[in-house]
Amino acid sequence: MENTKSSPQRAAQLPNSSSSYLGMLGGGQLGRMFVHEAQALGFKVLVLEPEADCPAGQAADQHLQAAYDDPEALAKMAALCASITTEFENVPAASLAWLAQTRFVAPSAACVSIAQNRIEEKQFFSRCALETGIYPAPHAVIASLADLETISDALFPGILKTARMGYDGKGQVRVKNLEELRDAYSNMDGVLCVLEKMLPLAYEISVLVARGANGEAVVYPIAENVHREGVLFTTTVPSPHVSADAANQAQKAALKLIADIGYVGVLCIEFFVLKDGSMVVNEMAPRPHNSGHYTMDACMSSQFAQQVRAMAGLPLGDVRQHSPCVMLNILGDIWFDGSTLRSPAWDKILALPSAHLHLYGKAEPRPGRKMGHISFVASSMEQAQADLRSACKILGIALRSES
């Protein structure tokens, strides 16, 4: 664990009783896990989410079913809640800014805005790279058809990404040449895009950091991720491949980035480690992150507890990892045998000695939909990996993976 201190930000308003409300914009599974941690510390939670039967709303003390920019709902949230956060980056930054006029909001609208736009995000990474030494991948902004004619051949093969609203592999197309780029850009209806050069990736790591309003910051151990079709498949912690020097560089870079923008709360930053051992910074998520779910069972303080602490002006928790862990994402695919809906064999999963099962309360399983996760926490990484393999066999999940 590393700690840093920087110039203090405006102190969070500490809720004055155990009945005080914290506010959450967003009703997904990240919000649900936040609610559980907030309630464990004696707080109540108000969730603002337009979907009726949402994971966070099921657990929250109150659920306001309204749009994220609904004036009446935002006014009620501001009146009731001591401080307010969000569980995903695509909430309107304007709503966060409005709430911040009268309530402590973490992360701020300015911080969320950077993560909402890949162009601003890469510009931010590039500015900080002079100190961190880690740059984003070579890229070019595409705002019009005319920009296509200025693209360097050095950026191929590449990935065309929409500047906004892309996550879990959505809004992305791989292109090998200018002709494929023209077709892909045309299919994206001319929205603002970024073409990013594909690099020789060895593996991906993510660095989870938390920062309080007083400038205190902590960084978790390095997590190594494997994806399938753009969606996180497994996270292994400690990373089995990252060197001590690379881990130290990535953690220091994450602490620099979070301090540079005066961020408060939990932030996840993804890095690519290339085959030559160098690193590039990929993207950041201004919230708890899928790759940080292992902290719920394998660390002294979970990422969700840290978010609660940061919002309430409480001291940040200990980020020590007490046991090796592998986290497996559970998608809706395993509920289906062909076209037949079935119930997964959770009894067999729970018979595995290291398995910690977390289901998100989503009523309708769909292929590709995140329904839960399993953390395998064991005395050795070998045991955790063995139980992962057993679980995949039980659930019918092939172990072959792609990064």
- Consult the annotation and say whether 262 binds a ligand: no
Give the mean pLDDT of 72-96.
Answer: 95
- Consult the annotation and say whether 204 binds a ligand: yes
Q: Is CATH 3.30.470.20 the classification given to domain 201-395? A: yes
Report the distance separating Cα 45 and Cα 63, nearest Å. Answer: 9
Please report the pLDDT score of residue 267 as a whole number: 98
Q: pLDDT category, 12, cuts 50, 70, 90? A: very low
3-116 CATH fold: Rossmann fold (3.40.50)
DSSP H or E stretch at residue 229: none
- Consult the annotation and say whether 168 binds a ligand: yes
Report the distance separating Cα 289 and Cα 211, nearest Å. Answer: 15
Please report the pLDDT score of residue 166 as a whole number: 62
Contact 96, 6 (CB under 8 A): no
Give the mean pLDDT of 144-166.
Answer: 91
Please report the pLDDT score of residue 138 as a whole number: 97
- DSSP per residue over 126-150, as a string? HHHHHHH--PPPPEEEE-SHHHHTT
Please report the pLDDT score of residue 284 as a whole number: 96
Which are the contacts of 117, defined by CB distance < 8 A and separation ≥ 6? 163, 164
For residue 167, pLDDT over 70 is answered with no
- Consult the annotation and say whether 402 binds a ligand: no
Please report the pLDDT score of residue 17 as a whole number: 47
Rg of the Cα trace of the chain? Answer: 21
- Consult the annotation and say whether 256 binds a ligand: no
- DSSP per residue over 76-93, as a string? HHHHHEEEEEESSTTS-H
Q: For 240-249, how does the pLDDT look when each residue is reduced to its tens digit (9 = 90+)? A: 999 999 999 9
Please report the pLDDT score of residue 330 as a whole number: 98
- Consult the annotation and say whether 80 binds a ligand: no
- Consult the annotation and say whether 393 binds a ligand: no
For residue 15, pLDDT over 80 is answered with no
CATH 3.40.50.20 in the chain is located at 3-116
CATH 3.30.1490.20 in the chain is located at 138-197
Contact 135, 281 (CB under 8 A): yes
Question: How many C-beta atoms surround the C-beta of residue 80 within 10 A?
Answer: 17
For residue 401, pLDDT over 70 is answered with no
The letter for the amino acid at 304 is: F
Contact 220, 295 (CB under 8 A): yes
Give the mean pLDDT of 240-260.
Answer: 96
Angle of CA points 104, 105, 106, to nearest 5°:
125
CATH 3.30.470.20 in the chain is located at 201-395
pTM: 0.92
**Residue 337 phi, psi (nearest 5):** -115, 90
Q: What percent of the chain has pLDDT over 70?
A: 93
Dihedral sign from CA coordinates of 208, 324, 356, 328: positive
Homologous superfamily (CATH) of 138-197 is ATP-grasp fold, A domain (3.30.1490.20)
Please report the pLDDT score of residue 230 as a whole number: 85
Q: pLDDT category, 403, cuts 50, 70, 90? A: very low
Q: For 19-76, how does the pLDDT look when each residue is reduced to its tens digit (9 = 90+)? A: 589 999 999 999 999 999 999 999 999 999 999 999 999 999 999 999 999 999 999 9
Q: pLDDT category, 103, cuts 50, 70, 90? A: very high
Report the distance separating Cα 1 and Cα 319, nearest Å. Answer: 6
Give the mean pLDDT of 232-252.
Answer: 97
- Consult the annotation and say whether 167 binds a ligand: yes
- Consult the annotation and say whether 170 binds a ligand: yes
For residue 11, pLDDT over 50 is answered with no
Helices 109-116 + 118-132 axis angle, to 10: 100
Report the distance separating Cα 173 and Cα 155, nearest Å. Answer: 14
Pairwise pLDDT comparison (170 vs 156), residue with the higher score: 156
- What does DSSP assign to residue 284? E
Q: pLDDT category, 168, cuts 50, 70, 90? A: low
Contact 353, 273 (CB under 8 A): no
Q: In terms of DSSP H, where are the helices of 281-380?
A: 295-298, 303-312, 346-350
- Consult the annotation and say whether 276 binds a ligand: no
Please report the pLDDT score of residue 19 as a whole number: 52
Please report the pLDDT score of residue 189 as a whole number: 82
- Consult the annotation and say whether 44 binds a ligand: no
Q: In terms of DSSP H, where are the helices of 359-403?
A: 381-395
Q: For 334-363, how does the pLDDT look when each residue is reduced to its tens digit (9 = 90+)? A: 999 888 999 999 999 999 999 999 999 999
How far from 243 is each of 223, 224, 273, CA to CA, in Å? 12, 12, 10
For residue 5, pLDDT over 50 is answered with no
Rounded to an integer, what is the distance from CA 27 to the centroid of its chain?
Answer: 15
Dihedral sign from CA coordinates of 235, 384, 308, 48: positive
Q: For 263-292, how does the pLDDT look when each residue is reduced to its tens digit (9 = 90+)? A: 999 999 999 999 999 999 999 999 999 999
